[in-house]
Amino acid sequence: MNASIDSTANAVAAVASAETPRAKLPARRLSDLSGLWPFLRPYRGKILLAFVLLCAASATMLTVPLALRDLIDHGFVAGSAINSHFIGLFGVALLWGFLVAGRFYVVSWIGERVTADLRSAVYSRTLTQSPEFFETTKTGEVVSRLTADTTLVQTVVGSSISMGLRSSFQFVGGMVMLAVTSLKLFAIILVLLLVVVLPLIAVGRGVKRLSRESQDRIADTSAVAGEILNAIPTVQAFTHEQFEIDRYDRSVEQSFVSAIRRTQLRAGMSAGIITGVFGAIVFVLWLGAQSVVAGSMTAGDLASFIVYAGLTAGGVGVVAEVWGDVMRAAGATGRLMELLAAEPVIRKPAMPEKLPESRLASVRFEQVRFHYPSRPKTAALDGVSLDIREGETVALVGPSGAGKTTMFQLLLRFYDVAGGAIRINGIDIRKLDPAELRSHIGIVPQDAVIFSADAFENIRYGRADASDAEVIEAARTARADEFIVRLPEGYKTFLGERGVRLSGGQRQRIAIARAVLKNPPLLLLDEATSALDAESEALVQRGLEAAMQNRTTLIIAHRLSTVQRADRLVVMEDGRIVEIGTPAELKRNGGLYARLASLQLAS
Ligand SMILES: Nc1ncnc2c1ncn2[C@@H]1O[C@H](COP(=O)(O)OP(=O)(O)OP(=O)(O)O)[C@@H](O)[C@H]1O
Ligand SMILES: [Mg+2]
């Protein structure tokens, strides 16, 4: 009985919450849940089984009070079949137990399975999105959809819906049985419960508002902590520890205060519900007892009436609680479906062409115009034409923001050009499968990405099937071998998240080794702008030089030493090519390159 009262208290709060949408969720429509059907369909057999088990368990549960009534009315008479009554009751309990266990297992299985499928589907969808998608969607949001939203769906599919169904059966069945047992008492208890429950719904709304508030406060607290923990070196370098501790304390204090306010209201509400519901039941029991004394009702009827009343109240409680969950899950499903429906902007053509198996690539930019999707008004490239012969090394130079990295983004077809075309070995890259195109290109990005794995795995990212010997060979070429062997466990040394255990120059050499291992016909190098000390710069230089051997290379150069090794120089400014020529020619011409070169030489 206690349990049912407790769930009534939850219920009241839940009813209130179902009506006030959570600020962070978009409009929640129940129809959003239909998006789950493709994920549920493969398991229709199991769903049917769960439903049958559920119905059987509910029916069994509703017979318990009947058995109790018979026991009270006929079981205590001497000579009656008291033993068989108890055996019957025990049999019902046993059956009920097994049915409930079966339903629980099957339903939970469906919930876990559907969530796992949903997670995989959303993740694989997300990984195929173009960079444009990630410019508008925060990665944190995708992660939260993958974890929090799928967990909501799991709660609903894996328990709430079945709990809700069971409780609706319990509620409806209980009401019917109450009416059958005693129509008069049923009418009285109905009126009393309405009088008790309605005002409490208002209070419940307040509880829910406060509980959302305290949830938000907790989220604030973790946001504060998350940001600061990621920036510990900066915090300590500026000796802001005490400042940050105070900030966190204030935020924790706020969440404490709002939690306590909610608890006070909740406590008052529990008192109201327990006295109200128990009062009503006691009152009806008193009326019933009089009927029993007057002989118009049997003791067994009264006992089963009380049990049905408890079952019914518990049923309402759970249904209302589940309703809140279902609405939240509808919102979560809606957001997940949005992600699943997102089409990548860059797609494989229906009849992709093949690149020739040549070890060398030629590249041609033809009047390429391009602007980033988020900045439709400013051209990042404005009529760029450039021919790169097979095996040539071309250096791109120019001031920051000139559009150098953009050239690489377009070559990798992370974005499509707005005008003109890019050709590799004479084929327009839009006619290629992006995966095939990218398999022909090796890239060493401006900031090398290191995964939280060992050196072997990090270099092997360039070519998954490379043997250990090949990895070491590539590391030697990139001059990474010399520092890796001195790490505590050599190539098996864990490099830390985001490569925190490596220096900038070491990270770059790992990235170069990766590109060398891939051994692509076309190599794109985006030289790091971050200053390296002279020694590691020399090492990175030698690594690059080795990587560029016998390959078509396009290199974004920030250092004169790199520029000098190029066959030709392309000087860019404001999305346009302003000069092309050999380093010596351009120096003589006294244009932008000559100015840039003298600046760097001076420093
Ligand atoms: N994802 C993006 N969305 C919108 N604009 C962008 C994006 N990436 C770059 N830009 C803009 O495009 C222009 C060219 O950027 P790009 O990265 O090609 O410069 P860069 O020549 O590589 O400069 P740096 O030498 O500093 O690396 C810049 O004005 C930049 O602000
Ligand atoms: Mg750049």
What confidence tens digit (pLDDT) does each residue in 309-349 have?
A: 888 877 777 777 777 777 778 878 888 888 888 888 888 88
Q: Is the CB of 377 under 6 A from ligand 1?
A: no
User: Has this prediction a pTM greater than 0.75?
Assistant: no
What confidence tens digit (pLDDT) does each residue in 352-387 have?
A: 888 887 778 899 999 999 999 888 888 999 999 999
Which protein residue has the closest C-alpha to ligand 1 atom 12? Answer: 380
pLDDT above 90 covers a percentage of the chain that reads: 27
Ligand 1 atom at minimal distance to the Cα of residue 398: 21
pLDDT for 78 = 61
Residue 456 has pLDDT above 80, yes or no: yes
Give residue 561 CA to ligand 1 midpoint distance, Å. 24
What confidence tens digit (pLDDT) does each residue in 44-78 have?
A: 999 999 999 999 998 888 888 887 888 788 766 66
Which protein residue has the closest C-alpha to ligand 1 atom 2? Answer: 372
Which protein residue has the closest C-alpha to ligand 1 atom 31? Answer: 401
Sheet holding 552-556, edge to edge: 441-444, 522-526, 552-556, 393-397, 568-573, 576-581
Cα–Cα dist 528/556, whole Å:
9
pLDDT for 150 = 87
Q: Is the CB of 399 under 6 A from ligand 1?
A: no
What confidence tens digit (pLDDT) does each residue in 103-158 have?
A: 999 999 999 999 999 999 999 998 988 888 887 777 767 777 788 788 888 888 88
Q: Is the CB of 555 under 6 A from ligand 1?
A: no
Candidate from 519-528, 560-569, 592-601 with smallest mean pLDDT? 592-601
Domain coordinates in residue numbering, the chain: 2-341, 363-600
Q: Is the CB of 42 under 6 A from ligand 1?
A: no
Give residue 558 CA to ligand 2 midpoint distance, Å. 10
Give residue 574 CA to ligand 2 midpoint distance, Å. 13
Q: Is the CB of 189 under 6 A from ligand 1?
A: no
pLDDT for 48 = 94
The dihedral region occupied by 568, where left means phi > 0, alpha psi between -120 and 50, and beta the remainder, is beta
pLDDT for 29 = 66
Q: Is the CB of 397 under 6 A from ligand 1?
A: no
Candidate from 418-432, 523-537, 555-569 with smallest mean pLDDT? 523-537
Q: What is the CATH number of domain 2-341?
A: 1.20.1560.10
pLDDT for 392 = 92
Mutate to test the pocket of ligand 1, among 375, 444, 526, 562 (most ligand atoms within 8 A of CB): 375
* Closest ligand relative to 558 C-alpha: 1
The total of other beta-carbon atoms located within 10 Å of residue 164's CB is 20
Q: Is the CB of 406 under 6 A from ligand 1?
A: yes
Cα–Cα dist 138/140, whole Å:
5
Which protein residue has the closest C-alpha to ligand 1 atom 5? Answer: 372
Which of 13, 323, 314 has the alpha carbon at shortest distance from 171? 314
Cα–Cα dist 444/513, whole Å:
9
pLDDT for 255 = 83
Q: Is the CB of 136 under 6 A from ligand 1?
A: no
488-491-494-495 Cα dihedral, nearest 10 degrees: 100
Ligand 1 atom at minimal distance to the Cα of residue 403: 18
The pocket of ion ligand 2, defined by CB under 5 A, consists of: 405
Residue 445 has pLDDT above 80, yes or no: yes
* Closest ligand relative to 384 C-alpha: 1
Which protein residue has the closest C-alpha to ligand 1 atom 4? Answer: 372
Query: 377: helix, coil or strand?
Result: coil
Contacts of 390 (CB under 8 A, 6+ apart): 358, 360, 361, 362, 552
Ligand 1 atom at minimal distance to the Cα of residue 446: 27
Ligand 1 atom at minimal distance to the Cα of residue 409: 18
Mutate to test the pocket of ligand 1, among 136, 404, 573, 592 (most ligand atoms within 8 A of CB): 404
Over residues 17-40, mean pLDDT: 62
pLDDT for 419 = 92
Average per-residue pLDDT for the chain: 82
Residue 33 has pLDDT above 60, yes or no: yes
Ligand 1 atom at minimal distance to the Cα of residue 572: 21
- List, as one string, the DSSP characters of 246-288: HHHHHHHHHHHHHHHHHHHHHHHHHHHHHHHHHHHHHHHHHHH
Q: The tokens of 346 are what?
A: 């860059």
Ligand 1 atom at minimal distance to the Cα of residue 575: 14
pLDDT band at 2 (very low <50, low <70, confident <90, very high): very low
Q: Is the CB of 558 under 6 A from ligand 1?
A: no
Which protein residue has the closest C-alpha to ligand 1 atom 30? Answer: 401
Q: Is the CB of 405 under 6 A from ligand 1?
A: yes
Judge whether 436 and 357 are in contact, CB under 8 Å. Answer: no
Cα–Cα dist 495/452, whole Å:
6
Ligand 1 atom at minimal distance to the Cα of residue 406: 18
Which protein residue has the closest C-alpha to ligand 1 atom 29? Answer: 401
Mutate to test the pocket of ligand 1, among 406, 447, 562, 574 (most ligand atoms within 8 A of CB): 406
Mutate to test the pocket of ligand 1, among 345, 368, 405 (most ligand atoms within 8 A of CB): 405
pLDDT for 441 = 92
pLDDT for 551 = 87
* Closest ligand relative to 403 C-alpha: 1
pLDDT for 406 = 94
What proportions of the chain, in percent to the nearest 5, are helix, strand and coil?
A: 65, 10, 25
Over residues 253-279, mean pLDDT: 82
Q: Is the CB of 135 under 6 A from ligand 1?
A: yes
Pairing of strands 576-581, 381-388: unpaired
Residue type, 516: V
The domain defined by 363-600 folds into: Rossmann fold (3.40.50)
* Closest ligand relative to 572 C-alpha: 1
Give residue 446 CA to ligand 2 midpoint distance, Å. 7
What confidence tens digit (pLDDT) does each residue in 399-440 have?
A: 888 999 999 999 999 999 999 999 999 999 999 999 999 999
Residue 187 has pLDDT above 70, yes or no: yes
